Structure 1
Amino acid sequence: MRRPRALATVALAAGVLMLSGTCTSTAQDRAAAPAAGSGGLSGVAACPGLEGFSCGTLTVPLDHSGGVQGRLDLRVAAADNVKAPKGVLLFLTGGPGQPGVPFVEGLSKKLTPLLKDYRLVMIDQRGTGAGALQCPQLQKEMGSSDLTPPTAQAVTACAAAVGPDRRFYSTGDTVADLELLRRALGVRKMTLDGVSYGTYTAERYALAYPQHVGRMVLDSVVPQTGYDPMDRAAMRAAPRVLTTACEAIGCRTDPAADLAKVVDTYDNGADVLDALTTWEFVDPNYAAMIDALHQAAGGDPTALRGLIAGVRQGSAATAEELSQGLHASTLCLDGRYPWGRADTPVAGRQEALEKAAADLTPADYGPFDAATATGLGSMLSCLHWPRTPVPPLPPEHRRLPGVPVLLLGGDRDLSTPLEWLYDQKKLTPRARVVVVPGAAHSVQSRAASDKGRQAVFDFLLTR
């Protein structure tokens, strides 16, 4: 789910939403069309500095139920090949909090083999890009990380800055925006392909609008059951990932044992997990982290502390790059926490969190500890988030539509570990799994190997 900009390296974790076919809306779709001003692309013109693409604005209701007035203008970029034989390819960026339009140029190069058959479209989802939710102190403290612990003051100041409208930034609201985009683009059936948080959005779209889904690619999977704020799968996966990486580079240490000793000795599990899940964007072999963990386990934490500090500095990001205001708003609305959801009174949340910590066992957190599981940024952001009305969530164990689905992951990914991919497989009737050795997060855009990208090309171009 996270979108770090580690050590000044901007990583692109995003999702692809594929729209299959360019046919016009059905009569049923037209009857269900939004009110005037709520849908359709306006102001369409050539994207500045981006040949072959046009940019426009999708205007959507702030409140899709119509109870609260207001509109949001979402920036959209679309390739000019409007008659692409296989329809529209809508690429959904990650986070939540990352815009889409700024990444069109880079992504189009990665997906070149698809672009004769698909029309590439990207959107700045609500609360991102030019319309980013602005929370200066939370942005400064967390940058582009999910896991860096924020202060309570930064969280409450952010919620106050966003105000009561924070209840309109759930994934369900984004899904409703995408349905308006589908109508505006004039397509009837869509194939969904997401990366990182984009996989969750794609899954939620498929559950809400199964009749409009033809095919799905889910890369770096967040399961439809939702993000675990304790990040237990990542903690348990860390020994496997580090050991595999160590074998690949021929190191002579035991990084799993070193990790366990470091957390036990220095009580720094949250910092270490944050650094590890950022470092995969720098080096999926984790070479510097493995060496620093070994030195720290031997009594010298200097290198490890330097890497942790460097990760914090390098993860800095503006709200326009990744909005922490949107990130908190969405995760707190979507998430299930030890105290319940965001509509639970703030009083009593801390006690519920402490009880959850006491109930954890080593089987839950592997080489880490209960303090790590309950002290991560996503957990603490929502611990302090003011009480907010929440939307209903779809039944979490409802299976995805019976369409072809490619589940894609890297064996070095700690941001969305393979364990999540296999959790989603259980809820995916026609799943094909491709795991890319040596790849970390966001296989389509970042893996050195072409295995994952070729799997996507084959999947989407073969009927």
Structure 2
Amino acid sequence: MTFLTRAVTTVAAALTAVACVGSTPGAASAPYPPSSSATPAAAPELTDPGPCPGQTDVTCADLTVPLDRTGAVPGTLRLRTAVFGEADAPKGTLLFLTGGPGQPGLPFVQRIRDRLPGALAQYRLVMIDQRGTGDAAVDCPELQREVGSSDTVAPTPGAVTACAESLGVKRNFYTTADTVADLEDLRRALGVTSWTLDGVSYGTFTAGQYALTHPHRVRKLVLDSVVPLDGAGVLYEEALGHSARVLRAACREQACGFDPARDLATVVRRDDNGVGVFNLLVIASIIDPKLDNPRFGILTALHASAAGDRARLDGLVAGFSAPSDEPPSEFSSGLHAATLCADSPWPWGDASAPTEGRQRALKRAVQQIQPTTVWPFERKTAGAQGIAQTCLPWPASRPNQAAPHRTLTMPVLILAGDRDLSTPVQWARDLAAVTPRAELVVLPGAGHSTQSRSDGGARAAEAFLLR
């Protein structure tokens, strides 16, 4: 679930999408060092400060963190940070976390300034290129070409294993718990006792895990386009089923005169192209939540295909699944895989489970899905989409370390677009139901990343931040 996306100039050049992660403790043992929350010996600091390129009023600096906090594997990582505003800002410091996993933070500083100007008159803004992103991005060329920033496109097993092999033992140190420890180092380097966090898409998972690990350091949270904090959703059942509601809402608004959800059901059962059609809908809904972009014509393409004229829809599916030219510095598919596979609870267990037996476990889990849950898609689409297919062949690795707490206790604003197919609105409702001080705002007609793409989302966030 990326935070922002590139502009789409042609159907064949469509980009972006999603990343969906969770967190559970592991089961089987594996040949890697145990995780640890041990604090580095040296106090963290921001080094080599200077004006950020193109933004002279923003200070860029480096945060150096250990690759492995146990010290068993040597090495450090240099994380680029950006700070805008004064240390004594009236409302304190706001850490804004972008998505992925795999997306850097620094390229979006100006975007956040533009979208939240009222809040940033009262806050100091901090953003960071999380480990494995930006200038120091994990680079897996074959995987990058095949999937770019999508996790609905299914990569080849060879591209996945080549990425893991190129990382070697380092693949064990890109979990969200590692990033949470980095963020705590950043807080200490900034010299603040507590701060406010705002996360979008996968950034909601990172922000939430930080808040569950260091609750007394968090004043309040904004979680926009929520990824479940308990790890649910890796098979995307809710998003597959939500597509029917999104399509039918678009049809009502366009007075299309037919049922696009029923057309979709006809097409995917006839053509066995559920993953491709789902990928098309996810990306198109990010670009245009109301699915009324005339360049795409998705509703009419579905209807024509159901009637036997497949050309338009087949072209859209192929175009939106085309190989990516997005560089890892803009979105790292390698980091995306390493974090996703470490963090998520899988039908086969956690990341430490041996690859043998995973396919059988996935098949059993798919067979247990109620067909009505994922309709108009078939349930096999849940197991064939890119999230599962990326981690199915990923070698046994160190699993994510679960946060010590389970409930967010600080004030939390949860934002959701009712047309979001990347992080469906049900995920936001589920989190709000178990969060005592949550405020849920569902934005009609909005899609993914509401603060960036919906004026209503930005206004709601500012009102909450300025209370």
Give the TM-score normalised by structure 1.
0.91
- The percent identity for this pair of structures is 50
The correspondence for 1:390, drawn from 372, 395, 399, is 399
The correspondence for 1:376, drawn from 372, 377, 385, is 385
Cα-Cα RMSD: 1.9
Inter-partner Cα distance in structure 2 for 1:62 and 1:313: 34
The correspondence for 1:134, drawn from 133, 139, 148, is 139
Displacement of 1:51 after TM fit?
A: 2.9
The correspondence for 1:400, drawn from 401, 405, 408, is 408
The correspondence for 1:426, drawn from 406, 428, 433, is 433
Inter-partner Cα distance in structure 1 for 2:44 and 2:127: 16
Inter-partner Cα distance in structure 1 for 2:232 and 2:347: 13
1:59-208 equivalence runs, <5 A = 59-208=64-213
The residue number in structure 1 matching 2:347 is 338
The residue number in structure 2 matching 1:235 is 240
Task: Decide whether the 8 Å contact of 1:13 with 1:445 is kept in 2.
Answer: no
Task: Decide whether the 8 Å contact of 2:267 with 2:306 is kept in 1.
Answer: yes
Task: Decide whether the 8 Å contact of 1:13 with 1:441 is kept in 2.
Answer: no
Task: Decide whether the 8 Å contact of 2:44 with 2:186 is kept in 1.
Answer: yes
Secondary structure of 2:436's match?
coil
Task: Decide whether the 8 Å contact of 2:134 with 2:329 is kept in 1.
Answer: yes
Tell me which moved more, 251-260 or 181-190.
251-260
Task: Flag the 1:439–1:148 CA change in 2: closer, same or farther, 3 A.
Answer: same
Displacement of 1:426 after TM fit?
A: 2.1
The correspondence for 1:293, drawn from 302, 305, 319, is 302
Tell me which moved more, 367-376 or 149-158.
367-376
Task: Decide whether the 8 Å contact of 2:15 with 2:283 is kept in 1.
Answer: no
Task: Flag the 1:12–1:263 CA change in 2: closer, same or farther, 3 A.
Answer: closer
Displacement of 1:321 after TM fit?
A: 0.8
The residue number in structure 1 matching 2:375 is 366
Task: Flag the 1:314–1:122 CA change in 2: closer, same or farther, 3 A.
Answer: farther
Secondary structure of 1:434's match?
strand
The correspondence for 1:256, drawn from 258, 261, 286, is 261
Give the TM-score normalised by structure 2.
0.90
Displacement of 1:86 after TM fit?
A: 0.8
Displacement of 1:359 after TM fit?
A: 2.4
Secondary structure of 1:58's match?
strand
Q: How many residues align?
A: 440
The correspondence for 1:440, drawn from 447, 461, 466, is 447
Task: Flag the 1:314–1:445 CA change in 2: closer, same or farther, 3 A.
Answer: farther
The answer on 1:7 being equivalent to 2:8 is yes
Displacement of 1:431 after TM fit?
A: 0.9
Task: Decide whether the 8 Å contact of 2:145 with 2:323 is kept in 1.
Answer: no
Greater RCO, CA 8 A, separation 6+: 2
Q: Deviations over 1:237-262 (max 9, x none)?
A: 11111111222233222111111111
1:35-54 equivalence runs, <5 A = 35-36=41-42, 39-54=44-59
The residue number in structure 2 matching 1:413 is 420
Structure 1 unaligned runs (5+)?
15-31
Which AA in structure 1 matches 2:170?
D
The residue number in structure 2 matching 1:351 is 360
Q: Deviations over 1:48-98 (max 9, x none)?
A: 211310100000111123332211000001114222111112111100000
Inter-partner Cα distance in structure 1 for 2:244 and 2:361: 29
The residue number in structure 2 matching 1:29 is none
Inter-partner Cα distance in structure 1 for 2:225 and 2:76: 32
